[in-house]
Each structure stands twice: as C-alpha cells, then as structure tokens.
Chains A and B, each alone.
Chain A
Amino acid sequence: MRNVPPRNLIDVDDVSPSELIGLIDRATAFNQTAPPRDLLAGVPVLNLFFESSTRTATSFTLAEQRVGADVISFAPGASSLGKGETIADTAITLRAIGVRVIVVRHPESGFPKRLSESFDGHVINAGDGTHAHPTQALLDLMTLRDHAGRLEGLKIAIVGDILHSRVARSNLVGMRMLGVDVTLVGPRTLLPDAFAGEGVHIERDLDAVLPHVDAIMMLRIQRERIVSGLLPSLDDYIRRFQLNPARLGRLSKDAVILHPGPYNRGVELTDEVLDDPRSRYVIQVHNGVYVRMAVLEFLINSASVPA
C-alpha cells in the first residue's frame, strides 16, 4: 500500500533542486543514448489538451512512445467537463478507466492543480493559463546547461510579455532554485513591479542589459495586447524591445538566445536572430522530447519506491 500521494509536476518546484538537476542529467543521457523502448511499457498515459498545441502535444506524444507507454490523446473542447461534470468526477472516472498519468494543458491557471487533488495518479502540467509550463522550463534549463556547462551564477534576461507568460513563471521558479540570476525586461504593463524578488531584477532598458547576460530569452508578443490597451503598437514595442541586428551586436559572443516558440518574425525578433549561430531555438525543441521522457520515468518510478 502506498502511504504517500502520487507525485505530480504542476510546476518546477514539485521537485527538489537535486531532483531537478537529476532530471536534466537524465534527459541529457537520453539524448546521447536512447533508452530501451520498453522503459515504461504499458503505462497508460492520457494527453488531455483543452487548449490547442502543436509542439508540446507532439513532443509529449513522441516522448511517451519512446518509453513504450500506452498513449491516449484527447482534445476535449466542450467535453463532459463543460457539461457540468466536476473536476473531481472527471479525475475519478479517468482513474477508473485505468489512466495512470495525465498530461494536461488548460487555458485556466490552476486546472492541473485542481485535477491532481482528485486524481489517484500522476499529473504533468503541459501549460495552464498564465501559471506554469514546467517541462518547457526544464528544456530551457537543459539547453542552457548544454551550452554553459553549469547553471549556478549564470545571468539570463527574459524579455517581453512576462505577465501573461507561463514559460517565464516556470523558468523563474526553476532558475531561482538553481541559482541563475534573472533579469526581467519589458514594459510595465506586461511586467509589473511585483515580479521583482530575490535573484530577480527588473529592467526597462533592453540595450543596457544585453552586454551583461549569458543568455537571453525572447517571449512572444501577441497583437491582442494592443486591443486590450497594454501596448500602443507593435512599432513602439519593437523600438524598445525587439532583438534585431543592432541589438545582436550588443550581445556577448558567448551568449545564447532562447525562444519558447512560436515566435513572431519581425516582432520580438527578426530573421537575423533566428539565423544567428547563438540562437538555440531548434535545440530547445529537440531537447523537449528527452526532458519529457525523463519526467515520465521520474514520476512513474517515484510511485514504485516504497515510502
């Protein structure tokens, strides 16, 4: 009998700093040598995506298949949850069907957390509202460490719409756990002062930040921020925060450029940025599969360890 609740990955801090390093190590090992295809043979995994996703859903599905899980994918849309079935009822039903792991994406912050309270199995958050996207943060951390050989003491700038970014929030959690020094850059409407904290600085002037960082993460800017009055125009934003050839020149030669995707060419970055040798976008996406394999293995094994 298990006397500890099953572990989840709702956000990065559901694991300890040493477990976090362990996950990056494991994902790195998977990248070098593929694990046996029956690593998690027959484990029923449900991909439950309430919000459309191309890269994350594909990446999770591939990761699940590479470790031999039984994969079910379901995009509920207006499913039973929309018809008044409670979150708890859904969780109990899915467990009864036999699902052991739910990979869930939902437009509302907190949905995976609520689901995990009633689900007797593992919940992996594949992105909830503006709250968290822990596997994205993991793959970002893996990509950074690949490049720099370490994480502690690295200086990174995250630029753009921090307020609406679950990627930024999860990276903040993970980077603070591992001693990365974070500078957030953006206009005050998209980066409120409340984000400042221990190891987290706020800067409004991108040009002042660029020469001093080991890495820069550009976030996607959505046009709807103009309609909602948070930005005057893309042109004004571009003037202040776009990563372009002029600003590339201010960035250290040894720095790397990250983007969680999907990017908007000509908005937060230009074509030249994507072609720059310092850009790591393709490697990030590539690493995502291994990180997700490592997370699946970690959670399943955590359940079989006697408490």
Chain B
Amino acid sequence: MKTVVRGGRVIDPSLGLDALLDVVIENGFISEIAEHADTAYARVVDATGAIVAPGFIDMHVHLREPGFTHKETIATGAAAAVAGGFTAVACMANTEPALDSATIVADVLRRAEAAGLARVYPIGAVTKARAGIELAPYHLLADAGCVAFSDDGSTVENALVLRNAARYASDLTSIFISHCEDPKLKGDAVMNEGGPSTRLGLPGSPGLAEDIIVARDLLIAEDTGKPWHIAHVSTATSLDLMRWARSRGVRATCEVTPHHLLLLDDRFDTYRADAKVNPPLRAERDREALLAGVRDGTIDVFATDHAPHGLDEKAQLLSEAPVGFSGLEIALGAYAAALPDVPLARMIELHSVNPARILGVPGGSLAVGSVGDVTVFAERPWTVDTRLFHSKGRNTPFDGATFPRRALATIVGGAVVYEHGRVLPRDEALHS
C-alpha cells in the first residue's frame, strides 16, 4: 500500500526542511521524500498550493468515553480530530470511570482502533478516580498504553500526594500533566476575576489561583526530577514561572489553547456559558503575554483542551453549565488567526514536533522510517459552522468566526482518513 502526497510545500522543522517535494508513505511509514516521486499504483493526494507537515498531535482532548457518550465518543472525537488536521490525540482521564485502570485504558484503545481514524493516546489518572487521595497504578497504566498522567480538570490539592505520585512514577519516562487551579482560590467562580466579573456581579477566579499551583507543581517537578507539563497556561505569571523553573534546570514544558490566545473575559455580558472554561479567559495583559510566550519559545505546544458538551448542558445558567467547548475542528485556523506573523516552521513545531517529543509518541517528523502521519493544510479562509462539526460538541465561542487556514487532508499511517471535507475510516481509506 503506497500513498504519495504530491506537489506540496513540505515543511519539517525536525529535518530543517522547507521545499516543494513529494512525500511517499509505504506500509504505514515514510519511505521517501523526493522531487517527482513515482506515483504508479499509489493513492495520490494532490497538495499543490498547500503545505505538507508531519501529522499534528493534540495532546489535550476530552473524548468523554466511557461515561459521557452524549457529549462525545471516541469515534466522533477521532473524526473531529482528523477533520481538524490532527493525526493523533492524547485523551484526558476524566471519563467515568476515570482512566485509572488497565481495563478501562484497554477499552479506550480498542474503541480507537475500531474507529480507525486518529491515533488515540490515553492519559492515565494521577490518583484513583481522580479523587486526589490514592495513587493510580502508573506501571500497569503505562503497560496498557498510557503515555502520560494527569488528573486534568481537577488539581491534585494535596502536595504530599502529588509529590509521592511523582516519586513513585519517577522511573517511568512518561510526563505528569498539571491542570493548575487552586480549588479554594477559585471557589465557585464562573469566569476570570477582574473588571468584567466585578461589574457583572459574577464570581471570578483570580490569576493567582493558577499561578500558585504552577509554582507549586514546578517545585515538585524540581524536587522529584519528574518531567512535567503544565496544561493550558493562561496567565503572564505562569509563563514567568516556567522561565524561572527552566533556568533552574527543571524539565518543564507547557501548552496554550486557541481560546486563551484569542479571547478575553469580556464575553459574559449575556450571562451565557458559551465562553465558560477552565482556566477562564483572562484579560488583555495575559493574552498578550501568551502570544509573546509562543514567539519567544516559552510555550512548547498547541493543545486545544477539546471539551465537548451537549447544547442543552451549555444552555443552563452560568453556575450550572459545564466548562469547556469543542476545539479540534477550529484549532488550526484559530492558531493561524492568533499568530499570523509566526513562521510556519515554528507553528508546526508546536503542533507536531514538540508534542511528539514531550509525549514520547511516534510522529513529529517526516524523516524516512517515521510513522506515515501527515497533515496537509492551506492558507484558505473559511467560516466556522458548528453544524458541520464531526464532534458531538457543537459549542464554541468561535461559531461564525472566519479563520485564514484550514486542513485539507489528514493521513494516518498512510491512510487518507480525511480529504475533500470527508472523513473516511482507515479500512475504507486503504481500499478506496
């Protein structure tokens, strides 16, 4: 089985490559990068006028299965991923039951295999049932296929528990990922604490709620030597703390979402929950710091925190509505809109090279012998229409927004699972 991505501008920062070339994938792996590759008997993807990159990896998504399949399933989430240009996703542990046992993790992987779309890498829980008390069985989870550990959505409140977790798991290379919000400082907040929350009479969460846990967890990373990843940074101070930790030699990385790069805490005058998310959308000063953090290298990864919910759930009162919204199908365009001046090679680092390296998963490179995961995208303006989402979660504050860039084709292990706006499972793609 051979696939040729023909005529595109191939950009691979891992190889220092930026040239018009054909990419050839055979039997699931990159076999050749050349001018005018032989296309005989090959499935050809025409990338003329488009950019060809190592497959994009979203290391922070919520696939909701098991437990919340009215919001999303592994199959619909994987479809949303490939439609958004992602060849792989790492799914968070806050399912019901949580990803805290090998059995559940094996089930997730079985369902992902059956869906035959994006690669799905489970992230195991740090504590049993994500309750913050007892340690999860890290080695059993790693054996089952977990690539990282996180109680995402909940902060491990007890520093003793988190320190012990990192010490016990310190022989494993897989990273810990922290969702940083002090539950007490956050209280019953529905948005950022600031001018808008004060004016609207809504409970707000201060940036301090994030900063204080970022500082704590980076100190635990230093103390334990565990490689650590800070999820969805949203404040200027978080980035200062990242720089400080790295200057001390802490192995720490961090990610940023599209919404924190583009949106502010000025979206609550309607008292609707469309923009309710954790950590909350912040003020302009923080947003500017995040944009600068991408440009200066403090931020390593683009990750969506794809958090689908039912429309009826998000229509509830602000206090009752769940946090988060869908991100997979808007991300590529939204990041381009936020950072139009950032070179494509740098964008691809954050979308692909860095998440692959940080998670220790295949991909992030088009070098011969690498896994045959390719994202083809183009500078082509389009308008977000949630009715066209493959995700069950039709909520996004970006509905109706126009973005400058979009995915054209997504190739996973040589199978063209997304092209011409259609999602096609691997088995069908390979035989079409």
* Residues of B contacting A195 in the complex (Cβ-Cβ under 8 angstroms): 198
Tell whether, in the assembled complex, residue A169 and residue B317 are in contact, meaning their CB atoms are under 8 Å apart: no
Given contact pairs A131-B200, A132-B201, A86 touches B317 in the complex (Cβ within 8 A): no
* Residues of A contacting B316 in the complex (Cβ-Cβ under 8 angstroms): 86
* Cα–Cα distance between A216 and B161 once the two chains are bound (Å): 51
* Residues of A contacting B199 in the complex (Cβ-Cβ under 8 angstroms): 169
Given contact pairs A86-B315, A108-B319, A166 touches B270 in the complex (Cβ within 8 A): no
Residue in A87, A132, A163, A194 whose beta carbon sits within 8 Å of that of B317 in the complex: A87
* Cα–Cα distance between A180 and B270 once the two chains are bound (Å): 27
Residue in B201, B315, B319 whose beta carbon sits within 8 Å of that of A166 in the complex: B201
* Cα–Cα distance between A194 and B316 once the two chains are bound (Å): 28
B297 shortest CB reach to chain A, Å:
33
Let me know if B312 is at the binding interface, CB within 8 A.
yes
Let me know if B194 is at the binding interface, CB within 8 A.
yes
Q: Within A117-170, which residues are at the interface with B (CB < 8 Å)?
A: 117, 128-132, 163, 166, 169
Q: Looking across the interface, which residue of chain B has its beta carbon closest to that of A128?
A: B201
Tell whether, in the assembled complex, residue A110 and residue B195 are in contact, meaning their CB atoms are under 8 Å apart: no
* Cα–Cα distance between A132 and B200 once the two chains are bound (Å): 8
Tell whether, in the assembled complex, residue A194 and residue B201 are in contact, meaning their CB atoms are under 8 Å apart: no
* Cα–Cα distance between A163 and B201 once the two chains are bound (Å): 8
* Residues of B contacting A111 in the complex (Cβ-Cβ under 8 angstroms): 271, 317
Let me know if A35 is at the binding interface, CB within 8 A.
no
Q: Looking across the interface, which residue of chain A has its beta carbon closest to that of B268?
A: A110
* Cα–Cα distance between A88 and B317 once the two chains are bound (Å): 11
* Residues of B contacting A192 in the complex (Cβ-Cβ under 8 angstroms): 193, 198
Let me know if B353 is at the binding interface, CB within 8 A.
no
The proximity string for B residues 197-215 relative to A, scoring 1 for CB distances below 8 Å and 0 otherwise, is 1111110000000000000
Tell whether, in the assembled complex, residue B271 and residue A109 are in contact, meaning their CB atoms are under 8 Å apart: yes
Given contact pairs A86-B312, A86-B315, A87-B317, A109 touches B201 in the complex (Cβ within 8 A): yes
Q: Looking across the interface, which residue of chain A has its beta carbon closest to that of B312?
A: A86
Let me know if B272 is at the binding interface, CB within 8 A.
yes
* Cα–Cα distance between A111 and B321 once the two chains are bound (Å): 13
Tell whether, in the assembled complex, residue B317 and residue A114 are in contact, meaning their CB atoms are under 8 Å apart: yes
Let me know if B318 is at the binding interface, CB within 8 A.
yes
* Cα–Cα distance between A139 and B204 once the two chains are bound (Å): 29
Tell whether, in the assembled complex, residue A131 and residue B201 are in contact, meaning their CB atoms are under 8 Å apart: yes
Residue in B194, B201, B318, B319 whose beta carbon sits within 8 Å of that of A169 in the complex: B201
Let me know if A225 is at the binding interface, CB within 8 A.
no
* Residues of A contacting B318 in the complex (Cβ-Cβ under 8 angstroms): 108-110
The size of the chain A interface, using a CB distance under 8 A, is 21
* Cα–Cα distance between A132 and B270 once the two chains are bound (Å): 14
* Residues of B contacting A95 in the complex (Cβ-Cβ under 8 angstroms): none
Q: Looking across the interface, which residue of chain A has its beta carbon closest to that of B317?
A: A108
Residue in B194, B195, B198, B270 whose beta carbon sits within 8 Å of that of A113 in the complex: B270
Q: Looking across the interface, which residue of chain A has its beta carbon closest to that of B320?
A: A108
Tell whether, in the assembled complex, residue A110 and residue B200 are in contact, meaning their CB atoms are under 8 Å apart: yes
* Residues of A contacting B201 in the complex (Cβ-Cβ under 8 angstroms): 109, 128-132, 166, 169
* Residues of A contacting B315 in the complex (Cβ-Cβ under 8 angstroms): 86-88
* Cα–Cα distance between A86 and B193 once the two chains are bound (Å): 28
* Residues of A contacting B200 in the complex (Cβ-Cβ under 8 angstroms): 109-110, 131
Q: Within A205-235, which residues are at the interface with B (CB < 8 Å)?
A: none
Tell whether, in the assembled complex, residue B198 and residue A110 are in contact, meaning their CB atoms are under 8 Å apart: no
* Residues of B contacting A86 in the complex (Cβ-Cβ under 8 angstroms): 312, 315-316
B29 shortest CB reach to chain A, Å:
51
* Residues of A contacting B195 in the complex (Cβ-Cβ under 8 angstroms): 194
A133 shortest CB reach to chain B, Å:
10
Q: Within B281-316, which residues are at the interface with A (CB < 8 Å)?
A: 312, 315-316
* Cα–Cα distance between A237 and B194 once the two chains are bound (Å): 25
Q: Within A63-116, which residues are at the interface with B (CB < 8 Å)?
A: 86-88, 108-111, 113-114
Q: Looking across the interface, which residue of chain B has its beta carbon closest to that of A109?
A: B201
* Cα–Cα distance between A110 and B203 once the two chains are bound (Å): 12
Tell whether, in the assembled complex, residue B198 and residue A194 are in contact, meaning their CB atoms are under 8 Å apart: yes
Q: Looking across the interface, which residue of chain B has its beta carbon closest to that of A131?
A: B201
Tell whether, in the assembled complex, residue A113 and residue B271 are in contact, meaning their CB atoms are under 8 Å apart: yes
* Residues of A contacting B193 in the complex (Cβ-Cβ under 8 angstroms): 192, 194
Residue from B195, B198, B316, B319 with most neighbouring chain A CB atoms (10 Å)? B198
Q: Looking across the interface, which residue of chain A has its beta carbon closest to that of B199?
A: A169
A260 shortest CB reach to chain B, Å:
15
* Residues of A contacting B272 in the complex (Cβ-Cβ under 8 angstroms): 114
Tell whether, in the assembled complex, residue B312 and residue A110 are in contact, meaning their CB atoms are under 8 Å apart: no
A109 shortest CB reach to chain B, Å:
4
A224 shortest CB reach to chain B, Å:
14
Q: Within B216-234, which residues are at the interface with A (CB < 8 Å)?
A: none
B207 shortest CB reach to chain A, Å:
13
Q: Looking across the interface, which residue of chain A has its beta carbon closest to that of B196?
A: A194
* Cα–Cα distance between A299 and B197 once the two chains are bound (Å): 28
B299 shortest CB reach to chain A, Å:
28
* Cα–Cα distance between A87 and B317 once the two chains are bound (Å): 8
The proximity string for B residues 133-164 relative to A, scoring 1 for CB distances below 8 Å and 0 otherwise, is 00000000000000000000000000000000
B321 shortest CB reach to chain A, Å:
11
B353 shortest CB reach to chain A, Å:
41
Q: Within A167-187, which residues are at the interface with B (CB < 8 Å)?
A: 169
The 9 closest A-B pairs by CB, nearest first: A110-B271, A131-B201, A130-B201, A194-B198, A109-B201, A113-B271, A109-B202, A108-B317, A194-B195
Q: A117-B270, A128-B201 are in contact. List 7 more A-B contacts (CB 8 A).
A: A86-B315, A87-B315, A108-B319, A113-B270, A129-B202, A131-B201, A166-B201
Residues of A near any B CB (own CB < 8 A): 86-88, 108-111, 113-114, 117, 128-132, 163, 166, 169, 192, 194-195
Could you give 13 example pairs across A and B, Cβ below 8 Å?
Answer: A86-B316, A108-B318, A109-B201, A110-B200, A110-B318, A114-B270, A114-B317, A128-B201, A129-B201, A131-B201, A131-B202, A192-B193, A194-B198
Residues of B near any A CB (own CB < 8 A): 193-195, 197-202, 270-272, 312, 315-319
